[in-house]
Structure 1
Amino acid sequence: MIYISTMDFLVGGLAGVGAGFFSNPFDVVKTRMQLQGELRARGKHAVHYKNVPHAMYNIVKHDGIAALQKGLVPALWFQLVVNGVRLGIYQQADNYGLLRDKDNNTQFVNSLFFGCVSGMCGGLCGSPLQLVKTQLMSYSSQKIAVGTQHAHPGMMYAFQKIYTKNGLSGLWRGAHGMMMRNSIGSASQIASFAVCKEWMDNNNMFQQSKYLSAFVASNIGALVKTVFLNPMDVIMTRLYNQAVDASGRGVMYAGIADCARKIVKAEGLIAFCKGMGPSYLRQAPHTVLLLVFWDMLKDLQKSIKLHA
């Protein structure tokens, strides 16, 4: 039983790593666009990133093509930790019969609940990696700089600098935002994927290939997740990227509510849609790869178990 539990967490983490490598450039673009015009009214700031193609062009022009993979190392570790925890917990709930009814059909409310709880746990564990990843992704040439520029040369340097300045608690600064974001994103993604895939399988739809229904359902999951996630994603990006004082407190935002209030006051409600385009372009391949890899790795796990 211990072996199976460990494998459930490892399978979820590896699925996240595989997906994260391909979706990272869109994460860089999303982060920059969410920081652009921070606490400034529309028309009162330079627009370095008009849309995804324009953003990618400007990043490559000023920072080089490698800049599209900024923050990749902490991003992949983040995927391993967060998805290992959340998909592992979710799979354990399924293993213990907490997600399905007597006919073995997924119960939407149960799936939503465990998706939320597992996402929150994953967010707490992965928060330091998301903090460093955000700060690495936002750093750029001064000509296209947005938000606070932290100038970390790499992941380990960033961890050391944050820990030296603000202690262990400094590494979990903004974790509450990450936990809320991840709980919303995880619940909407996993529940919509599970229910849609099961419905298609039960109704013999998209069965031409073994993983076709998983592919279609994961696209639906990506769309649902993007819509529900983006406002909290903007807040989380701002909380992680802000500068801090000597005691480790953010100099721009006191917390989630304060950040939301200041964004609405200075930028309007439309600001919560910032980066939604690249967010979906990131979420779509990431969710598809993540959930299809998850399905494939679970099948491989079952095969190994049967032949063991």
Structure 2
Amino acid sequence: MSVPEEEERLLPLAQRWPRASKFLLSGCAATVAELATFPLDLTKTRLQMQGEAALARLGDSARESAPYRGMVRTALGIVQEEGFLKLWQGVTPAIYRHIVYSGGRMVTYEHLREVVFGKSEDKHYPLWKSVIGGMMAGVVGQFLANPTDLVKVQMQMEGKRKLEGKPLRFRGVHHAFAKILSEGGIRGLWAGWVPNIQRAALVNMGVLTAFIIYSILSKYINFLFLQFRNFIFIIFQIHYSLCSGLVASILGTPADVIKSRIMNQPRDKQGRGLLYKSSTDCLVQAVQGEGFMSLYKGFLPSWLRMTPWSMVFWLTYEKIREMSGVSPF
């Protein structure tokens, strides 16, 4: 055995397999953030389905009998009618989704940044490269995670189906994957992938770009306000999270509404949707039947969720990278 090979075996795992380590570390950080903010995600999904005009074609009375109206009443309704723990219904596939999605997008983004785009001659990473890299990373990560997102959305609606007297579709997460696969094949697991990656591209463009700006400004804050840097970092992190979450929600909510409805729509025995032919068809039906603002159903819980999610994720991600010996993001 050569000396370099022996030296390589002595290196920490994070240095021997850097990409795999970054994938796992980002997945761990995303899991923590997802568990902390999942009730808002569930509330958002329930609001997005409320008053779905296309259901009238199937003679479904759910549109008229929907018991929820706003974010607070929706959350309280879930607790009162289904139980407190139902606020985390669908959290298992959501964790699966974020391990794949967050891990995939962070590894892809860093690969694009370091290998494909590279730094400029003055050793800086231009903002336009962050924008393009963020969008491409979001597309890759979300495409890989689409099956888990599909199961998450459908499981989040199981409690509402029970209240409406409809039979439950799944006995659990793995049964959901198996049933969708048996009815629609591999292709069925990627239902709604077009609006899903559109949303991911827009959200990542806003969030990752804002984080680059945050990273640059934080260095100046560290230099200029050394004595009060911890307090200023906290204030700045909150402000960054609010602003980036607002931009991401404005850009991504319409595509999020469309993908959620496509994923949750009833299907025939071949796995084909009974309400929408495509994402464009879903968009047209929503606007015609419910008005343009229907594309922003669930906007408030989506924004409120992105702020703590972003804070928990980035703070956890940077900390565990530091503890694991991986270079800062």
TM-score by length of 2: 0.83
Asked whether 1:300 is paired with 2:318, we answer: no
Closer, same or farther in 2 for the Cα pair 1:232/1:145, shift >3 Å? farther
Contact 1:193 1:220 in 2 (8 A): no
Give the alignment partner of residue 69 of structure 1, picking from 80, 88, 93: 88
Task: Return the letter of the residue paired with 1:10.
Answer: L
1:10-63 deviations in Å (ceiling 9; x for gaps): 22222211111111111110000000000179xx73452222221111111111
2-structure distance, mates of 1:159, 1:167 = 10
In structure 2, stretches of 5+ residues that fail to align are 1-14, 57-62
Query: Which residue of structure 1 aligns with residue 273 of structure 2?
Result: 250
Query: Which residue of structure 2 aligns with residue 208 of structure 1?
Result: 230
Give the alignment partner of residue 159 of structure 1, picking from 172, 177, 183: 177
2-structure distance, mates of 1:96, 1:142 = 48
The structure with more radius of gyration: 2
2-structure distance, mates of 1:108, 1:240 = 34
2-structure distance, mates of 1:63, 1:170 = 29
Shift of 1:292: 1.8
Query: Which residue of structure 2 aligns with residue 34 of structure 1?
Result: 48
2-structure distance, mates of 1:39, 1:104 = 53
TM alignment of 1:66-215, pairs within 5 A? 66-96=85-115, 98=117, 100-141=119-160, 145=164, 151-203=169-221, 204=224, 207-208=229-230, 212=234, 213-215=236-238
Contact 1:117 1:183 in 2 (8 A): yes
1:122-145 deviations in Å (ceiling 9; x for gaps): 111110100000000011255855
1:141-178 deviations in Å (ceiling 9; x for gaps): 558559x9753221011111111222221111212221
Contact 1:48 1:144 in 2 (8 A): no
Root-mean-square deviation (Å):
2.6
2-structure distance, mates of 1:65, 1:171 = 30
Query: Which residue of structure 1 aligns with residue 260 of structure 2?
Result: 237
Query: Which residue of structure 1 aligns with residue 60 of structure 2?
Result: none
Between 80-89 and 240-249, report the one with greater CA deviation. 240-249
Contact 1:135 1:240 in 2 (8 A): yes
Shift of 1:89: 1.1
The ranges of structure 1 where at least 4 consecutive aligned residues each deviate by more than 6 angstroms after the TM superposition are none
Query: Which residue of structure 2 aligns with residue 6 of structure 1?
Result: 20
In structure 1, stretches of 5+ residues that fail to align are none
TM-score by length of 1: 0.89
Between 207-216 and 157-166, report the one with greater CA deviation. 207-216
1-structure distance, mates of 2:326, 2:113 = 19
1-structure distance, mates of 2:232, 2:23 = 23
Asked whether 1:259 is paired with 2:282, we answer: yes
